[in-house]
Amino acid sequence: MALNTIPIPYGLRDVRLTPYTTSAADTLGSGVDLPYSRTLSFTDAEAYDDLRGDDMLVATHGQGSVVEWDLEAGGISLEAYKVLNGGTINTTGTTPNQIKTYSKMVTDVRGYFKAEGQAISDSGGDFHGIIYKCKVTGNIDGQLGDGVFYLTKCKGKGLPATLSGKVNYLYDFVQNETATAIP
């Protein structure tokens, strides 16, 4: 496959969430896999202010792009949940009696993270969508129910990145000639 082909992403192979480690959101920590990923969707959105006068629209001005995104995954990874929602994880005991507890206090805040999804391209290679500075701004949903699997769902916004080499980037689409795992 030559890179001059049009990528045809199919499915969702993997999603990785990488938290920022500083309040300035300019340093990334260790990434966490979002197992059993079902969707990573996003919309490039921008709010506009209009100037009207003399009974007509005179001008319109954008306030800057943001990315509105949604994630859904099967099951619940406590490590990924911590990246999305803040909080702490505590593991006690020894095998076969270990207990892992996720805890959220009212004082725990949601942090920023990078999200990267990978799809295999039907035209060869793969396709990555990377949102550089995400924060969950909506609800984080899940349901324990009769006859259904738990699904972790959330939505939020992607803001301009402050990472070295990616300052002010919102997102990248990356087409690889050879499929490349998310780092």
The answer to whether residue 3 sits within a structural domain is no
User: Per the domain annotation, does 143 fall within a domain?
Assistant: yes
pLDDT at 2 over 80: no
CATH assignment at residue 131: 2.30.110
Whole-model pTM: value is 0.91
- Torsion sign across C-alpha atoms 152, 153, 156, 159: positive
How far apart are the C-alpha atoms of 82 and 104, rounded to whole Å?
A: 9
pLDDT per position as a tens digit, 128-171: 999 999 999 999 999 999 999 999 999 999 999 989 899 999 99
Q: Does position 32 have pLDDT exceeding 90, yes or no?
A: yes
| Cα-based distances in Å from 64 to 45, 100, 103, 168 | 9, 42, 36, 11
% of residues, the chain, pLDDT over 90 = 90
Number of domains forming the structure of the chain: 1
Q: What is the mean pLDDT of residues 13-31?
A: 89
Cα radius of gyration (the chain): 19
23 belongs to a structural domain: yes
Residue 9: beta bridge partners? 121
What pLDDT is stored for residue 100 in this prediction? 97
Whole-number percent of the chain with pLDDT over 70: 97
Is the per-residue pLDDT at 57 higher than 90? yes
- 4 part of a folded domain: no
DSSP state, residue 5 = S
Specify the pLDDT at position 40: 97
Whether residue 66 lies inside any domain: the answer is yes
Residue listed under structure tokens 């206090």: 105
Average pLDDT, the chain: 94
pLDDT of residue 37: 96
Q: Name residue 101's beta-bridge partners.
A: 90
Domain range for residue 37? 9-46+58-176
For residue 124, is it within any domain? yes
Residue 25 confidence (pLDDT) above 90: no
